Chain A
Amino acid sequence: MPPIELFDSATYSIQFQVNSEWRKVRVRAADTLLDALREGLGLTGSKSGCDNGDCGTCTILVNGLPIKSCIMLAVEADGQQITTIEGLANSPVLQTFAEKQAFQCGYCTPGFIVNCHGLLNIHPDANEETIRIWLESNICRCTSYEEIREAVKSVFAAHSADGAS
């Protein structure tokens, strides 16, 4: 990996692939990836919640793996493949969340959808226990958990049926 381009003390030019498009952005080393996505690139689908790695509203995929973007520095993303909720606009997971009304205020929804998408990619045969463990990463303050659980189960059931056919 080539060295990161240093502009001045603590300011860096980095490049990463966001939703299949290479983007270049100048960041402070102390900027979180959430800052860079929202303020640097205008991708505001990832929400700022706790900013402390607890709530999961800022979840994105880094090389396919769900990670909370508030506990990752933007400079760490240099050269990596990032997917935000904007990149999942037509995904079956998003459609299912909408159909099952798996939200109330909707603030937590992007994080849940991205996490569920990652889970589906990494563990397409996830059992209920694995789904439960993964969903613990996201908090919904409106307590829409039941609808969200239904949506996720429905996504996996549909995926399983597709695989079987």
Chain B
Amino acid sequence: MIPIDFEYYRPASISEAVESFQYLNKRKKNPMYYAGGTEIITWARTNAIHPGAVIDIKLIPECNVMDFAENTLVIGSCVTLSALSMVNPFPLLSESATGAADQTARNKITLGGNICGRIHFREAVLPLLLADSRMVIAGQQGIRGVPVHDVFLEQMRLAEGEFIVQVITDREYLSLPFVHFKRRQIGNVGYPLVTLAALKKDNQVRAAFSGVCAFPFRSLEIEQVLNDKALTPTERAEQAIDKLPAPVLNDTEGSAGYRKFVLKQTIFEALSKLGG
């Protein structure tokens, strides 16, 4: 049971959603956009968040698109992770999506919701970072398109009242060679010690990580090391973990030392499979 009350709004258009947010915000309702809502429900249940209103954006047509437009793939923020995997327009994204939670939860979790989540995994963003995707964001100022790298810095950096409408990816990235590893300490379901997604473009390996630090990231410094042909794959894996952007997580999933060990092995395996 959720121990707080909130209001529920279900706009049918982008403008209606934005107007609802402004209206509710002025009334100090602490509104939140709501897509799959799984995290909002779990956080509200534990009293960690207190929305006075939720704005369910699932009826907005633009948020439910999954189609090709010219040379791009357009995916709406309310497309569920299981729908992404079933239709499979972007295999690396499908594989990342399949790693989140479990099947029946993925029937509810959305792409936009996963990326905007508060837990530090947010794994669906990894392929988007690797593919230089663009985010379509709606807010009071209208609709803007912005590279994922400009708006996802450790977490989604949205202005007040903004929400993700769509994610756009150039078609050329969809069929590039890739690997995806999700390493857990025990079992097939649950949070990972290390998730590594990598793809190869123009003979260069790109790699993004989740579960290693307190946020998902792609690091150009790490990629520079991974592509340094003067080093052996083992040396590259060893040097890569010295370039991490933040302290390695040390929690119940695994100690920092163990994570580094698993990460090194995983990088080595990725390089071997991608022919780095």
Q: Which residues of A does B touch, CB under 8 Å?
A: 1, 3-4, 9-10, 12, 28-32, 35, 51-53, 56, 59, 65-68, 70-73, 75-76, 115, 133-134, 136-138
CB distance from A26 to the nearest CB of B (A): 13
The A-contacting residues of B in range 1-47, CB under 8 angstroms, are 1-2, 4-8, 10, 12, 37-38, 41-42, 44-45
Please tell me which one of the listed residues A3, A29, A137 contacts residue B104 in the complex, with CB atoms under 8 A apart.
A137
Q: Is the CB of A52 within 8 A of B103?
A: no
Q: Which residues of B does A touch, CB under 8 Å?
A: 1-2, 4-8, 10, 12, 37-38, 41-42, 44-45, 54, 56, 58-59, 98, 101-105, 107-108, 188-189
**Which residues on B sit within 8 Å (CB–CB) of A137?**
102-105
If A32-B2, A73-B41 touch, does A4 touch B10 (CB 8 Å cutoff)? yes
**Which residues on B sit within 8 Å (CB–CB) of A70?**
41
Give the distance in Å from the alpha carbon of A60 to the alpha carbon of B48 in the complex. 27
If A3-B10, A30-B4, A73-B37 touch, does A53 touch B56 (CB 8 Å cutoff)? no
Please tell me which one of the listed residues B5, B59, B107 contacts residue A29 in the complex, with CB atoms under 8 A apart.
B5
A-B contact pairs, 30 of them (CB 8 A): A3-B10, A4-B10, A9-B5, A10-B8, A12-B8, A28-B5, A29-B5, A29-B7, A29-B8, A30-B2, A31-B1, A53-B38, A53-B108, A66-B103, A67-B108, A68-B104, A71-B38, A71-B41, A71-B42, A72-B108, A73-B37, A73-B41, A75-B10, A76-B37, A76-B58, A133-B98, A133-B103, A137-B102, A137-B104, A137-B105
Q: Is the CB of A67 within 8 A of B104?
A: yes
Give the distance in Å from the alpha carbon of A10 to the alpha carbon of B8 in the complex. 7
Closest B residue by C-beta to A52? B42
Please tell me which one of the listed residues B6, B12, B102, B108 contacts residue A136 in the complex, with CB atoms under 8 A apart.
B102
**Which residues on B sit within 8 Å (CB–CB) of A4?**
8, 10
**Which residues on A sit within 8 Å (CB–CB) of B5?**
9-10, 28-30
Closest A residue by C-beta to B59? A1
Q: Is the CB of B104 within 8 A of A76?
A: no
Beyond known contacts A52-B45, A68-B104, A72-B37: 14 more, CB 8 A cutoff: A9-B5, A28-B5, A53-B42, A53-B101, A56-B104, A68-B108, A71-B41, A71-B42, A75-B8, A76-B58, A133-B103, A136-B103, A136-B188, A137-B102
Q: Is the CB of B8 within 8 A of A66?
A: no
If A4-B8, A137-B103 touch, does A32 touch B42 (CB 8 Å cutoff)? no
**Which residues on A sit within 8 Å (CB–CB) of B189?**
136
Give the distance in Å from the alpha carbon of A29 to the alpha carbon of B9 in the complex. 9
**Which of A30, A52, A59, A72 neighbours the largest number of chain B CB atoms within 10 Å of its CB?**
A30
Give the distance in Å from the alpha carbon of A134 to the alpha carbon of B98 in the complex. 11
Give the distance in Å from the alpha carbon of A1 to the alpha carbon of B4 in the complex. 27
Give the distance in Å from the alpha carbon of A12 to the alpha carbon of B7 in the complex. 9
**Which residues on A sit within 8 Å (CB–CB) of B54?**
29, 73
